[in-house]
């Protein structure tokens, strides 16, 4: 098991919560959700790397709601790992290959919970069995918890003890740990064995994390953290008072201000809600829970929604299987309705045209692929994805970085030593600049065909797109492709071991920006019954071998076609009816793209009702946001950007940058241990926090905010009397207790069998 999978979240939000002053929220003027929905703030620091497991423990245990179902026997709960895992919301991967759907779709862990309390004066005791299912292993985490005293203003942690053991199959504990809160602070220890089952990164050996935090009042304290991973040990000591936080790894002794109003304090928001003019939540019909009963009688619990089907991999569910929609009514047993599953190993997306002018995207970054670099800039690398923006005052594109992809670390943007200028004429011969921008909702095209050096930017169109999933009944009968056009055979050949093929596409179409004769057009048909795209040989254009895809880093997330279109006449090159141009496809009101791969977001899944009708769900809303002016918003101040809203808590599209986990200061994204974070926060303000859904105004409210302390000179901390601790004793393996040991007083027993529908889904008690 990997420590970054099983259980983590709020405890250096627990362990460092004392290092952050309480931030006052705006006083609610009404009882609307906009004014009453809870906002959470947590601290992100270098020490957070060592306590993410603690953070996830707290999130998961809270989401199980043992406090709400005391003395009600064993019950099933589902916890969305994407909601509790900090790594699901922040990473160094910031390329256009990232899919919002991969993090928006739920990824549930099943947990069986038993919560008891003998009387109001006795501790609450919770036994928990959590199933962790990954592609390469499955495990059960056994947890025993006792809670004696709830958190309070004088003791923010409460008094509790949590012991856990993670087992692969029926073997020994691959991971063991405990978390203990008291009136004097927190102690945490975990040990994890390497090798099989995902421990220690698969490299063998033993990893350990140990933390102690002592408090001296509500505003001051000190602590020590030690992490040993893959044979390398890192230690931190830290201390804080009401104004400052100090941290040292023995070499770097650093001081930070705890003042959230300091202009150098970094803030990022990972979750927003949208509200209508009455302050009510904007909710979407984005999915529902489903159950699937396998042939051996095992019941699997999952979720069916706009982004497809989530189900534990061990379910091995196939197209045509019967799944049951689970519907909850307060105070009653849930009801179940049969549906038939429709799955395909690829999916089709429709892109509908919107536009603005080039001057309106001034300073908004996008990424673009550059094949032939002749005339781009001196020293440019061919066949590379670059990050750039339009500089309206200089009337040139400015190149800021290049994107590097590999199978180990995904894709990161490496900042150039100096920004490079590129004239619009470079792209004019290609019809324009094609790219991807999070701030404009995804794909974009700057139409530059025929543009001269004197053409004003206010008359040059920038086309961007609204994306919609294509359901089977809406799949076009015929689609055409000019660039990056795969077939079943070309993908099989490219991903074969030892292949020397240049790409998984028809060779003449690979990175083809040139006019294409009719003989070079690749045609596809569709099979709506199977939700499949077919090549000229009637073979499904799919490839799902994950190991083969991983061997080609640029395709590790799957294979995506170029733009597909339905009208050949509309794709004819200007002035040449015998050839077809990709830039003409860019200008079409609608085009499509097909993608295939092993992941949920590469594939189509839906359910059909008893009449054979496919059940559809609401697509994410595309909303616009005018960024406020001010230095806090950087180059995006005053710009209009495009955001996508996938349901409550899911608002994405804010551009970002990378920061150092040691200094909290901006760094190039290829820096080791850098973190990709949103560049700014939408304020909780009825004027500055307003977004537009077409002509309809809505209000955004941040729900989960991260604070990164502003770095100060060390003398500031020493003058303020913040002294690093000495003599602190870290918790050790001697404090471990095994909840799977029948002779232990905290023995939780074998995992019970629960056949009833889940009573709790991500913290919400259903019945």
Instruction: Tell me the pLDDT tens digit for each residue of 410-450.
Output: 678 899 999 999 999 999 988 899 999 989 988 899 999 88
Could you tell me which residues come within 8 angstroms of residue 371 by beta carbon, excluding any fewer than 6 positions away? Answer: 382, 383, 511, 513
Residues 411 and 445 both lie in one domain: yes
Provide the domain limits for residue 369.
349-469
Let me know if residue 655 belongs to a domain: yes
Q: What is the largest CA-CA distance in the chain?
A: 86
Let me know if residue 368 belongs to a domain: yes
| CA 713-718-721 angle, 5° bins | 140
Give whole-number Cα distances, 170 to 202, 203, 460, 672, in Å. Answer: 19, 22, 65, 37
DSSP assignment of 627-669 equals PPPSGGGGGGTT-EEEEEEEETTEEE---EEEE-TTT--EE-T
Residues 520 and 531 both lie in one domain: yes
Give whole-number Cα distances, 216 to 155, 219, 236, 723, in Å. Answer: 10, 7, 19, 13
User: In the numeric block, which tokens belong to residue 706?
Assistant: 């991260």
Q: What is the C-alpha to C-alpha distance for residues 280 and 289, in angstroms, rounded to an integer?
A: 24
Let me know if residue 86 belongs to a domain: no
User: In the numeric block, which tokens belong to residue 461?
Assistant: 């169109």
Could you tell me which residues come within 8 angstroms of residue 17 by beta carbon, excluding any fewer than 6 positions away? Answer: 10, 42, 43, 156
Residues 326 and 359 both lie in one domain: no
Residues 538 and 459 both lie in one domain: no
Question: What pLDDT does residue 105 have?
Answer: 67
Quote the radius of gyration of the chain (alpha carbons, Å). 27
3-state secondary structure of 396: strand
Query: If you search the block for the tokens 């304020």, which residue do you land on?
Result: 683
* Domain termination site, one of 674, 693, 708: 708
Q: What is the C-alpha to C-alpha distance for residues 94 and 521, in angstroms, rounded to an integer?
A: 33
- Residue 612: other Cβ atoms inside 10 A: 7
Let me know if residue 540 belongs to a domain: yes
User: In the numeric block, which tokens belong to residue 549?
Assistant: 């895809």
Contact 277, 687 (CB under 8 A): no
Question: What pLDDT does residue 51 have?
Answer: 66
DSSP-assigned beta bridge partners for residue 447:
432
Contact 393, 403 (CB under 8 A): no
Let me know if residue 486 belongs to a domain: yes
Q: What is the C-alpha to C-alpha distance for residues 62 and 198, in angstroms, rounded to an integer?
A: 25
Query: If you search the block for the tokens 């002016």, which residue do you land on?
Result: 629
Residues 411 and 364 both lie in one domain: yes
* Domain termination site, one of 408, 442, 469: 469
Query: If you search the block for the tokens 């069986």, which residue do you land on?
Result: 112
Contact 151, 134 (CB under 8 A): no
For 99-154, how does the pLDDT look when each residue is reduced to its tens digit (9 = 90+)? 444 446 678 889 999 999 999 889 999 999 999 876 666 789 999 999 998 777 77
Residues 315 and 353 both lie in one domain: no
Residues 434 and 550 both lie in one domain: no
Q: What is the C-alpha to C-alpha distance for residues 245 and 238, in angstroms, rounded to an integer?
A: 7
Compute the Cα dihedral for 154, 156, 162, 165 and give only its sign: negative
- Residue 498: other Cβ atoms inside 10 A: 4
Query: If you search the block for the tokens 């709506």, which residue do you land on?
Result: 528
Q: What is the C-alpha to C-alpha distance for residues 747 and 270, in angstroms, rounded to an integer?
A: 37
Pairing of strands 576-580, 656-659: unpaired
| CA 249-252-257 angle, 5° bins | 100
Contact 196, 205 (CB under 8 A): no
Query: How many residues are recorded in the chain?
Result: 767
Q: What is the C-alpha to C-alpha distance for residues 257 and 250, in angstroms, rounded to an integer?
A: 20
DSSP-assigned beta bridge partners for residue 143:
128, 164
Q: What is the C-alpha to C-alpha distance for residues 615 and 354, in angstroms, rounded to an integer?
A: 28
Question: What pLDDT does residue 387 have?
Answer: 96
DSSP assignment of 341-383 equals EEEESEEEEEEEEEEEEGGGGBT--EEEEES--TTS-TTPPSS
The dihedral over CA atoms of 662, 665, 670, 674, expressed in degrees to the nearest 10, equals: 40
Nearest of 402, 320, 323 to residue 369 by alpha carbon: 402
- Residue 704: other Cβ atoms inside 10 A: 17
- Residue 743: other Cβ atoms inside 10 A: 6
Q: What is the C-alpha to C-alpha distance for residues 33 and 686, in angstroms, rounded to an integer?
A: 13
Residues 393 and 489 both lie in one domain: no
E-assigned strands of 709-747?
Answer: 710-712
Let me know if residue 648 belongs to a domain: yes
Pairing of strands 696-708, 710-712: unpaired
Q: Cβ-count burial of 359 within 10 angstroms (0-12 exposed, 13-18 middle, 19+ buried)?
A: middle
Residues 533 and 492 both lie in one domain: yes
* Domain termination site, one of 469, 503, 520: 469
- Residue 753: other Cβ atoms inside 10 A: 8
Structure letter (DSSP) for residue 512: -
| CA 167-168-174 angle, 5° bins | 50
Pairing of strands 410-422, 396-406: antiparallel
Q: What is the C-alpha to C-alpha distance for residues 669 and 643, in angstroms, rounded to an integer?
A: 22
Nearest of 150, 231, 118, 102 to residue 558 by alpha carbon: 102
Residues 464 and 477 both lie in one domain: no
Could you tell me which residues come within 8 angstroms of residue 291 by beta carbon, excluding any fewer than 6 positions away? Answer: 299, 300, 301, 302, 323, 324, 326, 336, 757
Q: What is the C-alpha to C-alpha distance for residues 218 and 216, in angstroms, rounded to an integer?
A: 7
Nearest of 107, 195, 180 to residue 146 by alpha carbon: 180
Residues 362 and 336 both lie in one domain: no
Residues 353 and 328 both lie in one domain: no
Q: What is the C-alpha to C-alpha distance for residues 237 and 216, in angstroms, rounded to an integer?
A: 16
Let me know if residue 489 belongs to a domain: yes
User: In the numeric block, which tokens belong to residue 601?
Assistant: 């977001």
Q: What is the C-alpha to C-alpha distance for residues 404 and 556, in angstroms, rounded to an integer?
A: 13
Let me know if residue 406 belongs to a domain: yes
Give whole-number Cα distances, 349 to 505, 536, 603, in Å. Answer: 19, 20, 11
Contact 657, 267 (CB under 8 A): no
User: In the numeric block, which tokens belong to residue 584?
Assistant: 């003409």
3-state secondary structure of 6: coil
3-state secondary structure of 611: coil
Contact 161, 178 (CB under 8 A): yes
Q: What is the C-alpha to C-alpha distance for residues 377 and 386, in angstroms, rounded to an integer?
A: 12
How many domains is the chain built from?
4
Q: What is the C-alpha to C-alpha distance for residues 515 and 743, in angstroms, rounded to an integer?
A: 76
Which residues of the chain are under the pLDDT cut of 70?
1-29, 49-52, 86-105, 134-137, 170, 194-204, 406-410
Question: What pLDDT does residue 102 have?
Answer: 47
Q: What is the C-alpha to C-alpha distance for residues 29 and 34, in angstroms, rounded to an integer?
A: 10
């Amino acid at each position: 098991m990997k420590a970054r999978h099983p259980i983590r979240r709020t405890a250096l939000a627990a362990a460092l919560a004392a290092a952050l002053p309480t931030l006052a929220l705006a006083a609610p003027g009404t009882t609307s959700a906009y004014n009453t929905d809870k906002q959470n703030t947590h601290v992100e620091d270098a020490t957070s790397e060592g306590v993410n497991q603690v953070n996830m423990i707290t999130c998961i245990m809270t989401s199980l709601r043992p406090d709400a179902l005391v003395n009600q026997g064993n019950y099933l709960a589902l916890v969305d790992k994407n909601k509790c895992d900090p790594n699901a919301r922040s990473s160094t991967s910031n390329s256009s290959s990232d899919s919002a759907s991969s993090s928006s779709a739920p990824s549930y862990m099943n947990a069986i919970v038993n919560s008891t309390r003998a009387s109001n004066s006795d501790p609450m005791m919770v036994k928990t069995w959590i199933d962790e299912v990954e592609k390469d292993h499955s495990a059960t985490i056994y947890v025993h918890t006792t809670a004696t005293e709830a958190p309070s203003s004088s003791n923010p942690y409460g008094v509790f003890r949590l012991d856990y053991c993670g087992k692969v199959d029926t073997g020994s504990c691959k991971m063991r740990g405990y978390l203990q809160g008291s009136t004097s602070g927190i102690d945490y220890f975990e040990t994890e064995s390497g090798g099989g089952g995902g421990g220690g990164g698969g490299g063998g050996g033993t990893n350990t994390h140990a933390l102690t935090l002592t408090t001296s009042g509500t505003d001051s304290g000190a602590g020590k953290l030690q992490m040993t991973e893959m044979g390398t040990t890192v230690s931190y000591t830290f201390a804080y008072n009401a104004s400052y936080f100090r941290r040292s790894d023995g070499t770097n002794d650093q001081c930070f201000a705890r003042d959230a109003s300091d202009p150098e304090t970094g803030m990022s928001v990972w979750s927003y809600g949208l509200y209508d003019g009455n302050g009510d939540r904007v909710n979407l019909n984005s999915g529902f829970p489903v159950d699937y009963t396998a042939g051996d009688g095992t019941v699997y619990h999952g979720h069916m929604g706009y982004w497809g089907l989530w189900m534990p991999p061990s379910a091995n569910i196939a197209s045509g299987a019967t799944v049951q929609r689970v519907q909850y009514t307060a105070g009653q047993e849930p009801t179940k309705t049969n549906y038939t599953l429709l799955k395909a190993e690829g999916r089709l997306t429709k892109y509908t045209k919107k536009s603005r002018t080039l001057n309106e995207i001034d300073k908004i970054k996008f990424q673009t692929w550059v094949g032939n670099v002749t005339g781009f800039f001196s020293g440019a690398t061919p066949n590379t994805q670059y990050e750039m923006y339009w500089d309206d005052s200089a009337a040139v594109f400015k190149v800021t970085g290049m994107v590097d992809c590999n199978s180990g670390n995904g894709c990161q943007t490496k900042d150039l030593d100096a920004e490079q200028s590129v004239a619009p004429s470079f792209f004019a011969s290609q019809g324009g600049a094609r790219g991807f921008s999070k701030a404009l909702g995804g794909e974009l095209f700057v139409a530059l065909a025929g543009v001269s050096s004197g053409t004003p930017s206010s008359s040059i169109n920038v086309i961007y797109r609204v994306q919609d999933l294509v359901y089977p009944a809406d799949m076009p009968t015929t689609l055409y492709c000019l660039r990056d056009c795969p077939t079943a055979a070309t993908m099989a050949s490219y991903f074969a071991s030892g292949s020397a093929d240049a790409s998984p596409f028809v060779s003449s179409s690979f990175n083809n920006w040139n006019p294409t004769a009719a003989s070079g057009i690749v045609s596809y048909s569709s099979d709506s019954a199977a939700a499949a795209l077919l090549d000229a040989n009637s073979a499904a254009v799919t490839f799902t071998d994950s190991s083969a895809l991983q061997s080609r880093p640029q395709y590790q997330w799957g294979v995506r076609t170029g733009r597909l279109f339905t009208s050949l006449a509309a794709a004819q090159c200007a002035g040449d009816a015998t050839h077809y141009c990709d830039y003409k496809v860019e200008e079409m009101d609608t085009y499509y793209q097909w993608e295939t791969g092993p992941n949920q977001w590469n594939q189509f899944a839906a359910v059909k009702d008893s009449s054979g009708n496919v059940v559809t769900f609401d697509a994410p809303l595309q909303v616009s946001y005018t960024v406020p002016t001010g230095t806090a918003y950087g180059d995006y101040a005053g710009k209009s950007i495009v955001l996508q809203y996938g349901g409550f808590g899911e608002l994405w599209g804010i551009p970002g940058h990378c920061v150092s986990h040691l200094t909290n200061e901006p760094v190039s994204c290829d820096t080791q241990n850098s973190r990709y974070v949103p560049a700014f926060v939408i304020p909780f303000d009825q004027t500055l926090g307003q977004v537009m859904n077409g002509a309809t105004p809505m209000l955004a409210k941040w729900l989960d905010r991260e604070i990164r302390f502003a770095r100060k000179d060390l003398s500031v901390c020493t003058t303020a009397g913040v002294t690093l601790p000495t003599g602190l004793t870290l918790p050790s393996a001697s404090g471990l207790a095994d909840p799977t040991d029948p002779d232990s007083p905290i023995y939780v027993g074998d995992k019970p069998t629960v056949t009833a529908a889940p009573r709790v889904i991500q913290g919400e008690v259903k019945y």
